[in-house]
Amino acid sequence: MDINLKPNSIKMAEKKAKSGTVNGDNLSGDVSHKTLEFVDHLITEEILPRLPVKSLIRFKLVCKRWNSTISSSEFVKLHLKFSSLNNQNRHFIIYPDDEKFYGKQNLDSYGLLPYRECSNIRDLVWVDGGVGDVDWYHIVGSSNGLVCLYQRDDDEDERHCFFTLWNPATGEDRDISSPDGVHVSEAHGFGYVPSLDDYLIVACFGSGTVDGSTFRGFYVFSVKVGKWERIFGCFHYLQTSRWRWKWKRVRARADEECIAKELERQAVLVGDTMYWASEFFVGKKSIVGFHVVTKELNWQCGYWSLELFQVKGCLSLFGYRKNDVSDFWTLKNPNDWSSWQKILSVDINVVPLITFSETGKCLVRQSKEFKLVDPCKEALECTKGNGAEFRRRLVIRDHVESLISPLGITKSDEKEVNSGNSNYLATNSMLLENKG
Amino acid sequence: MASSSSSSLSRVVVKSSDNNLFVVNKKVASQSQLLKQCIDNMEEKGTNDVILIPLSNVTSNILTLVLEYCEKHADFADDDNNNQELKQWDHEFLKKFDYATLNSLTMAADYMVTKSLLNLCCQFIADSIKDLTVQQIRQIFDIKNDFTPQEEADIKNENAWAFR
């Protein structure tokens, strides 16, 4: 064998060796070692971020260094990144509106169904918290471990409506009252907006479909800023004739109200845009988009009936056609409405489809079993049963376990800002932000 | 020399910290970014000689394990990551090690920049420590408790539910 020792490669290897502060003795493989002797960066950047939230909260007690690491916002973001990639931390959060779904009477708590190829109704975990003692509530959205709820409590004189931001994993929650305390929100959405690095609630207050209150406008709540802002958006709509499509710009105030009245309750956030299904033309569903950065409303029509999803970062819709066949479409390019692509067609009277996950998989239910099916690989028709009976009554969202605080800023952040501590995870989280 | 003038190496020799030599197929070595970079550097220079890469931090027994892992994964390199057989193999591979070996293997994976092995080890460690008590964690990571009883009580109070 011709062994040629090249100084360059050795230099590189040695340089590498120095950059990690590895002590050669630790690598002896001596079986008498009872402890794990890792360099700090392996613990803080590779091992701790892979732990479940409950373990991390307990491990704050290990020592001061672990406590400050786990509490730092950089770590919270890093943990979220790992958590999103690990299906063990992924769930579906279910709002129980139908006891038939669970075979259980008590419907006062939310259920978490693990994201697994196969699971059983017994695997549902009930979570306490989040819900106050109110008359009525539902899930607005779920993003990065934060769940946004809308709750309504009526007393003799008036109706109290408020939003709640809740992290089921840490148990932290926070109520957010409506702008002037009295308005009812009829259509709303919640999510993380990467370009603003902020969590937003967009709500359309007093659209007047239930209690006859007048339209009060679109509002945006920023978790970072901590308050509501009235949005006077301008809006455009796509006029479709048989021959051409053209954008028309319309006076905001007058038409905003017309649009607001027709919005369906829940919006889906994709990128910087909150999308609602709506029925602006009788018998024909449209999609209304509200761009949270430019504050523009856009709408697009042409479907009979539809439900919206965010799947793999794309706006997707599930629309019904005649004969109970439904199509699932995905918008490949958010700026090009001709990039709608049909993913599948399915008859929900035959296939027990529950929902589409953000990961692109479909959740189906057969009797007491749940299955995740990749519609691109397996034919959905292999699963038999009636999905329609469950789907109509269910609010179900993807949910990833995280340490993100509904308060927007963690206690340790305040301390760090005050003491001016430099942070060893800063580079990591910056990379993350750039990616986002 | 002329016959192999494609300026690509087929094998490299890796030397462990205790001076044992391992002849490694290029495809296997490429699983480690550290080794791959060494090879790429040499290929850029157009050398056809077999190169020796000394790893001053990795002992023979650990290097054997890393290479066993790389060999298996090189076989599946063109396959997608979701290969069930490979996942099963990974699991069996790690299951047999004690903490000390796992410790060394993780650090070797970090040092040799074998990201998938590092991920595998760290996830395995995380899974095995997640249900331990705080006291057990301190023991395993050899950490001293530097909280005052008051500070300890404060943290416990803030997150009471997690300590139940």
Tens of pLDDT, residue by residue over A337-382, are 777 788 888 887 778 888 889 888 888 887 788 888 887 767 776 6
Residue A230, both tokens: 């009235």
Q: Does B86 touch chain A (CB under 8 A)?
A: no
Asked if A272 contacts A292 with a C-beta cutoff of 8 angstroms, the reply is yes
CA distance to partner chain B, nearest, from residue A91 (Å): 18
Instruction: Kindly state the average pLDDT of the residues A174-180.
Output: 84
Q: Which position has the higher pLDDT, B3 or A76?
A: A76
**Structural domain contains residue B163:** no
* pLDDT at residue A18, rounded to an integer: 37
Residue A146 has pLDDT above 90, yes or no: yes
Among A20-29, A266-275, A390-399, where is mean pLDDT lowest?
A20-29
**Structural domain contains residue B2:** no
Which is it for the CA torsion B36, B41, B43, B47, positive or negative?
negative
- Residue type, position A206, single letter: G
Place of tokens 């902020």: A198
Q: What is the largest distance, in Å, between two alpha-carbon atoms of chain A?
A: 92
Run of H or E including A424: none
Cβ separation B131–A9 shorter than 8 A: no
Cβ separation B54–A13 shorter than 8 A: yes
Assign B1 a pLDDT band (cuts: 50, 70, 90): very low
Q: Does B155 touch chain A (CB under 8 A)?
A: yes
Q: Does B58 touch chain A (CB under 8 A)?
A: yes
**Structural domain contains residue B1:** no
Helix (H, G, I), strand (E, B) or coil at A175: strand
* pLDDT tens for each residue of B18-72: 989 999 888 888 889 999 888 888 888 776 677 888 888 899 999 999 999 998 8
- A-chain residues near B131 (CB < 8 A): 55
Helix (H, G, I), strand (E, B) or coil at B23: strand
Q: Percent of chain A having pLDDT more than 90?
A: 15
CA distance to partner chain B, nearest, from residue A412 (Å): 12
Asked if A127 contacts A83 with a C-beta cutoff of 8 angstroms, the reply is no
Residue B14 φ/ψ, nearest 5 degrees: -110, 135
A residues 254..313 contacting B (CB < 8 A): none
Residue A57 has pLDDT above 90, yes or no: yes
Within 8 A by CB and 6+ apart from A96, the residues are A102, A104, A107, A109, A110, A111
Q: How many CA atoms lie within 13 A of A343 on its CB side?
A: 24
* pLDDT tens for each residue of B77-100: 776 656 788 888 888 898 888 888
* pLDDT at residue A370, rounded to an integer: 87
Q: How many CA atoms lie within 13 A of A44 on its CB side?
A: 22
Cβ separation B123–A50 shorter than 8 A: yes
Q: Which position has the higher pLDDT, A99 or A26?
A: A99
Q: Which position has the higher pLDDT, B164 or B14?
A: B14
Q: What is the SS3 string spanning A332-379? A: CCCCCHHHEEEEEEEECCCCCEEEECCCCCEEEEECCEEEEECCCCCC
Q: Best interface-test mutation with B: which of A62, A403, A415 has the largest number of B CBs within 10 A?
A: A62
Sheet containing A296-303: give its strands across.
Answer: A245-250, A234-240, A296-303, A284-291, A273-281, A268-270
Cβ separation B145–A62 shorter than 8 A: yes
- A-chain residues near B62 (CB < 8 A): 27, 29
Asked if B124 contacts B105 with a C-beta cutoff of 8 angstroms, the reply is no
CA–CA gap between residue B40 and residue A11 (Å, rounded): 15
Instruction: Kindly state the average pLDDT of the residues A95-116.
Output: 71
- B-chain residues near A3 (CB < 8 A): 13, 21, 50, 52
Q: Does B147 touch chain A (CB under 8 A)?
A: yes
CA distance to partner chain A, nearest, from residue B64 (Å): 12
Q: Does B162 touch chain A (CB under 8 A)?
A: yes
Cβ separation B50–A63 shorter than 8 A: no
Residue B75 has pLDDT above 80, yes or no: yes
Q: Does A4 touch chain B (CB under 8 A)?
A: yes
Cβ separation B49–A4 shorter than 8 A: yes
- B-chain residues near A63 (CB < 8 A): 138, 143-147
Cβ separation B111–A22 shorter than 8 A: yes
Pairing of strands A3-4, B50-54: parallel
pLDDT averaged over every residue in chain A: 73
**Structural domain contains residue B31:** yes
CA distance to partner chain B, nearest, from residue A29 (Å): 5
**Structural domain contains residue B3:** no
Place of tokens 């931001």: A165
**Structural domain contains residue B12:** yes
**Structural domain contains residue B162:** no
Neighbouring C-beta atoms of residue A275, cutoff 10 Å: 25
Q: Does A55 touch chain B (CB under 8 A)?
A: yes
- A-chain residues near B134 (CB < 8 A): 58-59, 61-62
- The radius of gyration computed from the CA coordinates of chain B, to the nearest angstrom, equals 21
Residue B56, both tokens: 């001053």
Q: How many domains, in total, are found in chain B?
A: 1
DSSP state, residue A43: I
* pLDDT at residue A29, rounded to an integer: 36
* pLDDT at residue A212, rounded to an integer: 47
Residue A272 has pLDDT above 90, yes or no: no
CATH number at residue B47: 3.30.710.10
Residue A384 has pLDDT above 50, yes or no: yes
In this complex, the residue of B41, B50, B162 whose CB is nearest that of residue A57 is B162
**Structural domain contains residue B164:** no
Cβ separation B17–A46 shorter than 8 A: no
In this complex, the residue of B38, B98, B146 whose CB is nearest that of residue A12 is B38
Q: Which position has the higher pLDDT, B126 or A418?
A: B126
pLDDT averaged over every residue in chain B: 84
Q: Which domain holds residue B38?
A: 8-156
Helix (H, G, I), strand (E, B) or coil at A230: strand
Assign A59 a pLDDT band (cuts: 50, 70, 90): very high
CA–CA gap between residue A172 and residue A158 (Å, rounded): 28
Top mean-pLDDT range of A125-139, A273-287, A422-436, B30-44: B30-44
Give the alpha-carbon dihedral of A224, A228, A233, A236, to 10 degrees: 70
- A-chain residues near B144 (CB < 8 A): 63
Q: How far is CA A357 from CA A93, A208, A318, A344, in A?
A: 11, 32, 13, 15
* pLDDT at residue B10, rounded to an integer: 79
| Orientation angle between helical segments B60-75 and B115-129, nearest 10 degrees | 110
**pTM to 2 decimal places:** 0.77
Sheet containing A136-143: give its strands across.
Answer: A136-143, A146-154, A159-166, A173-177
Q: Does A376 touch chain B (CB under 8 A)?
A: no
- A-chain residues near B161 (CB < 8 A): 171
